[in-house]
Amino acid sequence: MSNQYEYGTNGNSILIVDFQPIVREGLKSLIRECEDLKVCAEAENAHETMEVIRRLKPDMVIIDLSIRGVNCIEFIERIKQRYPKLPILVFTMSDESLYAERVFRAGANGYIMKHETLNKVTEAIYKVLRGGIYMSHKIEAKIVMFRTLNHQSKGFPIPIELLSNRELEVFRLIGQGYGTRRIAEKMFISIRTVESYRLHIRKKLKLKNGEELLRQAIQWIKNER
């Protein structure tokens, strides 16, 4: 069950969504330093998040991309469909050069990496609260370089960008060393569905077999770091 707080009295209320307690504690400590901000609650999964939003109507959500049991990009889309005016700031370790674009297409208002300085995180929070879009210069530069180096000459997207959000999640887990059964357990889907995703990924990336898929996924994970 989510925990509820009230830091400050008249400040903008923020919901923190992250499965790691240490990250939530760090964000709460940062927000405590801002007199016009308060943490109204924290959550670690999708169900808690939707329940808190429904009951407390926060002014903003700060969310990681690694929420257990859900594809977080699709989850952001779901939140924005139900609460289109609710600002969402993604606070994550996931590769900005690929995920940032997907996150913004899903409706998020900001994207910042967890290794950024506290001042940058505070800047991102305020910018998103005020109706702006936050993307660090580093993220923006990487996306520009990513497109310049990898797009095909006729303007078609590179193969990895052709993957759906779910296919990308499967591809990432393959690269992290998970087998089909473990991927099914982590994503709460059937083994047959995982196998179907693997086949679709191979076709889209033009890979001959499972071994080639594994090599490409591992290499992508290394490059992501």
103 and 197 together in one domain: no
Q: How far apart are CA 61 and CA 17, in angstroms?
A: 7
Please report whether residue 150 resides in a domain: no
Largest CA distance in the chain: 60
The CATH number that applies at residue 174 is 1.10.10.10
Look at 15-29, 68-82, 100-114, 145-159 and tell me which has the smallest mean pLDDT. 145-159
**What phi and psi, each to the nearest 5 degrees, are found at residue 192?**
-60, -40
The pLDDT tens digits for 161-185 are 778 888 888 998 999 899 999 999 8
Q: What is the pLDDT of residue 1?
A: 47
Q: What is the pLDDT of residue 155?
A: 43
**What number is the average pLDDT over the span 197-212?**
90
Task: Please tell me the total count of domains within the chain.
Answer: 2
Q: How far apart are CA 83 and CA 78, in angstroms?
A: 8
Q: What is the pLDDT of residue 222?
A: 72
Q: Write 176-184 long-range contacts (CB < 8 A, 24+).
A: 176/221, 177/218
CA dihedral (9, 15, 19, 25) in degrees, to 10, reads -30
CA dihedral (8, 12, 13, 14) in degrees, to 10, reads -110
Q: In what order do the strands lie in the sheet with 134-135?
A: 3-4, 37-43, 12-17, 60-63, 88-92, 110-113, 134-135
Q: Which two tokens stand for residue 133?
A: 């879009």
The pLDDT tens digits for 65-112 are 988 778 899 999 999 999 999 999 999 988 776 788 889 889 999 999
Please report whether residue 147 resides in a domain: no
132 and 40 together in one domain: yes
**What number is the average pLDDT over the span 4-14?**
63
State the number of CA atoms in the 13 A half-sphere of 213 facing the CB.
25
Q: What is the pLDDT of residue 7?
A: 41
Give yes or no for residue 49 having a pLDDT over 80.
yes
**What number is the average pLDDT over the span 189-200?**
93
Q: What is the pLDDT of residue 131?
A: 92
The answer to whether the beta carbons of residues 39 and 48 sit under 8 Å apart is no
Q: How many CB atoms lie within 10 A of CB 30?
A: 16
137 and 164 together in one domain: no
Q: How far apart are CA 109 and CA 59, in angstroms?
A: 13
Of 88, 112, 141, the one marking the end of a domain is 141
Q: What is the mean pLDDT of the chain?
A: 85
Give yes or no for residue 41 having a pLDDT over 90.
yes
Q: Which domain does 197 fall in, by range?
A: 159-224
Please report whether residue 148 resides in a domain: no
The CATH number that applies at residue 70 is 3.40.50.2300
- How does residue 11 score in pLDDT terms, banded at 50, 70 and 90? confident
Q: How many CB atoms lie within 10 A of CB 102?
A: 21
